[in-house]
Amino acid sequence: MSTLISIDARTGQAHGAPLPASTPSDIDASVCAASAASPLWARSDGAARGTLLRALAEALEADREPLVACADRETALGPVRLNGELDRTCFQLRRFAELAEQGLPYAQTDDPAVPGAPPVGHPAMLRQQLPLGPVAMFAASNFPFAFSVLGGDTASALAAGCPVVVKAHPGHPELSQRVFAQTQSVLARQGLPAGLIGMVQGADVAVGVALIRHPLIAAGAFTGSTRGGLALWAEANARPRPIPFYGELGAINPVVALPQALATRGAELATTLAGSITLGCGQFCTNPGTVVLIDGPESDAFVQQLVQALTPIAPHAMLTAGMRRAFEHGVVELVAAGAQPLLPSAAQNAAPGPQLLQVGGAQFVANPHLREEVFGPASLLVRCADLTEVCAVLQAIGGSLTTTLWGVDEDSEANRTLVRAATAIAGRVLFAGVPTGVAVSAGQHHGGPWPASTAPGTTSVGDAALARFLRPVCLQDAPGWLVAREGLPC
């Protein structure tokens, strides 16, 4: 296996000695320990799960300064963003603590017996939920706290009653080890098995593949690139016993900016959009990678405003040198596919400059290469002749985490058509603001039709994320002692 090493994202220099990558027997040991902890955790009550999740949040907060410093060195995301992300991660851990304490994982449907012949008559049916078992959790590079070792997948799986084995991301290996060490201290302090939260690390795909293939793994949760997600999804399905695989993948998040919105607020929207395109050096799964416009004077003015707003912005370094290369290659590919660059090239030593390109709607629909995510501070303007072409553009995108519609305030047939086209392809449709920023809340849906997610019925952010790790079971004519457990597995 290749060497795993912590790299300073700003300088490209190695930091510290190489870290040990997990061997096949390490991976087996982690999964076996998770499996051994599984029955105990499956029958834990909401108070126990809440206590663990709250203690994990407290541990992160107690070590905030060194953790943020380490994350900043490994990702270059900056202390403001990273402190905010740590807050969000703790909020998420506490939110799932609350949901477990409120009994969400133990919710039941009680369907008492109905006397008489079927189909009206039936026995007593008690539908409840069971934790799936050990979850393989694949961390993403661009959220070193919120989608990593103690991120949303780990929090929701633990709240559901499942142990977790994290496949740490090689982009922040030292931070992953530090956070993992904290989890082990918390588990020890609470007298819980160390195997309840395991971690494996490696610098090539072999570690993740071995993890998802392990026969004792019961589900996969993945946040990352479409290519990586699809490879692991295929592995999960090729197992002798296939398992659920919840892959939240990349997206191009179209923003449809209608002339009626641009006519009155064009300059303001251009500034907001430029900030969203370049936020975090564009390294967000919800980055607005496509902006759809209807030809006319309002759109022409908006393009000029967007060019002006983007030109002076100097994003920071990207997460890894590989991502920088992939970004620059992606822009070259867009140009090769016929997109016209609109900004002067402004690459700096450590950071890429923002990129804005444009194509026609028909061209965009005809060429799938124009619909590939370019991960970084880039956006592609798609210039359409009319509403019909806008809908064709959305349909060609097919699946996206978000779609934003600016200017559909009135109830009209045209606006209903657009809303139908947007909801058909996106997990979240915004009518104001920009798609970057994914609130952790009850109403959130972070997923969407393929290829945004491998499981479009599920979300990786928000309360409903917990349901991914539960399986319904119907207890028919159950004895009194089992009914009295009120959904707590025995």
178 vs 485 by CB, closer to ligand NAP: 178
The answer to whether the CB of 310 falls within 8 A of the CB of 271 is: no
129 vs 444 by CB, closer to ligand NAP: 444
Which of 195, 250, 282, 377 is close enough to bind ligand NAP by CB under 6 A? Answer: 250
Active site residue 333: no
Instruction: Name every residue whose Cβ is closer than 8 Å to that of residue 483 and which is 6 or more positions away in sequence.
Output: 126, 475
**Any contact of residue 350 with ligand NAP (CB under 6 A)?**
no
Token couple for 411: 């109830």
Pairwise CA distance, residues 102 & 466, whole Å: 13
* Residues in 359-388 at the binding interface with ligand NAP, rule: CB under 6 A: 373, 375
Token couple for 269: 């929207």
Which of 29, 40, 209, 307 is close enough to bind ligand NAP by CB under 6 A? Answer: 209
Q: Which stretch binds ligand NAP (CB under 6 A): 54-62, 226-234, 269-277, 392-400?
A: 226-234
Q: What is the DSSP string of 291-348?
A: EEEESSHHHHHHHHHHHHHHTT------S-HHHHHHHHHHHHHHHHTTPEE-S-----
Which of 1, 36, 231, 263 is close enough to bind ligand NAP by CB under 6 A? Answer: 231
Number of residues that bind ligand NAP (CB under 6 A): 30
CB of 170 to ligand NAP, least distance (A): 5
Pairwise CA distance, residues 300 & 471, whole Å: 52
Half-sphere exposure of 182 (CA within 13 A, CB side): 21
Q: Which residue is catalytic, options 248, 298, 373, 389?
A: 248
**Any contact of residue 146 with ligand NAP (CB under 6 A)?**
no
Which of 219, 249, 281, 293 is close enough to bind ligand NAP by CB under 6 A? Answer: 249
202 vs 435 by CB, closer to ligand NAP: 202
Q: Which of 187, 206, 158 is nearest to 38 (CA)?
A: 158
Q: Which of 209, 378, 415 is nearest to 279 (CA)?
A: 378
Which of 50, 144, 195, 202 is close enough to bind ligand NAP by CB under 6 A? Answer: 202
**Any contact of residue 142 with ligand NAP (CB under 6 A)?**
yes
Q: Which residue is catalytic, options 285, 298, 384, 389?
A: 285
CB of 431 to ligand NAP, least distance (A): 21
Q: Which of 225, 228, 255 is nearest to 375 (CA)?
A: 225
CB of 375 to ligand NAP, least distance (A): 5
232 vs 257 by CB, closer to ligand NAP: 232
Q: Which stretch binds ligand NAP (CB under 6 A): 191-199, 204-212, 258-266, 381-389?
A: 204-212
Which of 131, 170, 360, 427 is close enough to bind ligand NAP by CB under 6 A? Answer: 170
List the x/- string, 457-486, binding to ligand NAP by CB under 6 A: ---x--------------------------
**Strand 4-7 versus strand 426-430 pairing type:** unpaired
123: enclosing H helix or E strand:
none
Token couple for 248: 């939240």
Active site residue 248: yes
297-301: long-range pairs with CB below 8 Å, 24+ = 298/259, 298/262, 298/263, 298/266, 299/257, 299/259, 299/262, 299/383, 301/262, 301/266
155: enclosing H helix or E strand:
helix 152-160
Closest residue to ligand NAP using C-beta atoms: 228
Cα dihedral 67, 2, 35, 100 sign: positive
34 vs 210 by CB, closer to ligand NAP: 210
Q: Please list the active-site residues.
A: 248, 285
List interacting residues with ligand NAP (CB under 6 A): 138-143, 147, 167, 169-170, 202, 204-205, 208-209, 223-225, 228, 231-232, 248-250, 285, 373, 375, 401, 446, 460
